């Protein structure tokens, strides 16, 4: 079935860190996106494409709105939804006091389903259509997540957390059970509908050398799957890794020597990485998830995006909320915080760059830029519609915006959560906000 949406269309054709506006930007002030069978068939000027459509095709016109690629969250923990905003402390204390307590509930499939459903609704309400998601050590938490994700028709990446030490006994597996359960879950979920599997060691301190070795093995045995973990988030964590793995030169080397570094490996944070780390990540084609709200909330530090994006050896980087240490589902808010982090490091993050990191850049980090992250013919039809008049303040401020860049920058600094008017997943309306009540309704969840 053919359908279409009309409005101002903004997308990226290339990387704004390295190219000019003329090369990276796709912009139609009055555009039409034509969709069929979950993919974008055509995109271009409405006045041209409307003449080519059959008379019975429904066209939804979003006036005073921007149509953007669906946002992509490169690192997030759905089981931590219930602990968002918990009083901060530093990373390790926060994990012990809040995270490990919350995650012990996820052997209960009903609890996992309830949380996954709420998490995905909040993601869609924020315009996020794809995420790289940590579940818990319990296989039931993975089943619950992917069942809800498939119900919503989303392209999500997720996996069972692997931990065999330095966590409560209720959250520990073993090297062998972690390997066996991961293998079974890959068979069950990888490529099931739009779902993709990620081998998920929480981070080096919670896995023995034996588990790290088996983690690398199971990942290498399943080409096309992902690996996600954490790296160099907190200085105390880095010292802990040095004590636990004394035979390795640094934190990244621990992952590298166990076969965890390569294409489709995604490491959260990377706040305290050095030049040799960036060089190795670049060579390996691995990615970093930049988690500004989480890093600020836990006082972990300021990620050096400028250094990571050095044109001589650029590292793949995507933006991420890192809930629940992250404090917002909104990728718009996350972009605003990424700008502040860059400012504190002495550089300015443009709106072009921020929106790229949440769309095409994130898709590139995840090796999915041939499927999602852009509005172009042949791409999967995941999109978000942003209401430019969501509040009186936003409408007033945008009256004085000089150009498109300023409009985008104002959105990432001022736009409220309910600025998301609609979210499309696989060419279908997945979430829509009432213009009267401002409440979001969901088609499949």
The DSSP-derived string for 237-291 is HHHHHHHH-TTSSSHHHHHHHTT--STTEEEEE-TT--HHHHHHHHHHT-EEEE-
Distance CA 126, CA 115 (A): 17
Q: What tokens appear for 334 in the block? A: 């996350």
Judge: domain 2-69+373-442, CATH 2.30.40.10: yes
In this prediction, residue 48 carries a pLDDT of: 97
Residue-level pLDDT at 90: 85
Q: What confidence score (pLDDT) does residue 435 get?
A: 87
- d(Cα 199, Cα 184) in Å, to the nearest integer? 12
- Residues in CB range of 223: below 8 A, 6 or more apart: none
Q: Rounded distance, CA 230 to CA 270, Å?
A: 8
Domain limits, the chain: 2-69+373-442, 71-365
pLDDT score of 423: 98
Residue 92 is predicted with a pLDDT of 85
In 95-221, beta strands by DSSP E: 128-134, 157-159, 161-162, 196-201
With vertex at residue 289, the alpha carbon angle to CA 258 and CA 96, rounded to the nearest 5 degrees, is 75
Q: Which CATH class is domain 71-365?
A: alpha beta
Six token digits for residue 38: 């979950």
Q: Per residue in 228-257, is it b (16+ CB within 10 Å) or e — as a string?
A: bbbbbbbeebbebbeebbeebebbbbbbbb
Q: What is the DSSP letter of 380?
A: B
Q: What is the pLDDT of residues 283-341, one digit of tens each?
A: 999 999 999 999 999 999 999 999 999 999 999 999 999 999 999 999 999 999 999 99
Angle between helices 331-344 and 404-414 (to 10 degrees): 100
Cβ atoms of 233 and 213 closer than 8 Å: no
pLDDT of residue 140: 98
Note whether 2-69+373-442 and 71-365 share their fold. no
Q: Which pLDDT belongs to residue 444?
A: 95
Tell me what pLDDT residue 322 has.
98
| pLDDT at res. 94 | 86
Q: Which residues of 116-127 are buried (b: 16+ CB within 10 A; e: fewer)?
A: bbebbbbbbbbb
pLDDT at 88: 72
Asked if 225 and 196 touch (Cβ cutoff 8 Å), the reply is yes
Residue spans of the chain under pLDDT 50: none
What's the confidence (pLDDT) of residue 91?
Answer: 83
For residue 367, give both structure tokens. Answer: 């090796």
């Amino acid at each position: 079935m053919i359908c279409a949406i009309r409005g101002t269309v903004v997308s990226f054709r290339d990387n704004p860190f390295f190219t000019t506006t003329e090369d990276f930007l796709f912009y139609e002030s009055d555009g039409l996106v034509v969709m069929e069978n979950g993919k974008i068939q055509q995109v271009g000027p409405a006045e041209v494409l409307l003449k080519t459509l059959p008379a019975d095709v429904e066209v939804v016109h979003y006036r005073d709105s921007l149509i953007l690629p669906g946002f992509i969250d490169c690192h997030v923990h759905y089981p931590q939804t219930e602990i968002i905003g918990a009083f901060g402390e530093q990373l390790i204390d926060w994990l012990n006091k809040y995270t490990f307590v919350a995650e012990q509930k996820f052997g209960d499939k009903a609890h996992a389903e309830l949380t996954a459903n709420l998490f995905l609704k909040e993601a869609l309400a924020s315009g996020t259509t794809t995420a790289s998601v940590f579940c818990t050590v319990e296989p039931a938490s993975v089943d619950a997540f992917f069942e809800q994700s498939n119900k919503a028709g989303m392209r999500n990446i997720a996996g069972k957390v692997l931990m065999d030490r330095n966590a409560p006994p209720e959250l520990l597996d073993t090297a062998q059970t972690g390997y066996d359960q991961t293998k079974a879950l890959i068979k069950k979920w990888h490529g099931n509908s739009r779902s993709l599997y990620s081998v998920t060691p929480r981070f080096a301190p919670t896995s023995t050398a034996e588990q790290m070795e088996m983690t690398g093995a199971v990942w290498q045995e399943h080409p096309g799957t992902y690996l996600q973990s954490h790296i160099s988030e907190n200085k105390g964590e880095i010292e802990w890794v040095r004590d636990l793995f004394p035979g390795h030169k640094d934190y990244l080397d621990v992952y590298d020597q166990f076969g965890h570094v390569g294409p489709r490996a995604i490491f959260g944070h990377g706040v305290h990485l050095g030049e040799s780390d960036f060089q190795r990540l670049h060579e390996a084609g691995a990615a970093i998830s930049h988690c500004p709200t989480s890093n600020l909330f836990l006082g972990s530090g300021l990620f050096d995006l400028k250094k990571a994006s050095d044109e001589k050896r650029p590292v793949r980087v995507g933006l991420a909320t890192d809930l629940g240490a992250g404090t917002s589902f909104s990728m718009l808010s996350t972009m605003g915080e990424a700008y502040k982090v860059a400012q504190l490091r002495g550089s300015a993050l443009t709106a072009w760059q921020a929106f790229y990191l949440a769309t095409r850049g994130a898709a590139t980090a995840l090796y999915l830029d041939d499927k999602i992250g852009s509005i172009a013919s042949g791409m999967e039809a995941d999109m978000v519609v942003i209401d430019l008049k969501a509040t009186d303040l936003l409408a007033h401020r945008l009256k004085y915006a000089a150009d498109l860049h300023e409009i985008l920058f104002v959105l990432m600094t001022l736009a409220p959560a309910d600025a998301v008017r609609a979210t499309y997943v696989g060419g279908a309306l997945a979430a829509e906000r009432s213009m009267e009540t401002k409440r979001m309704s969901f088609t499949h969840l």
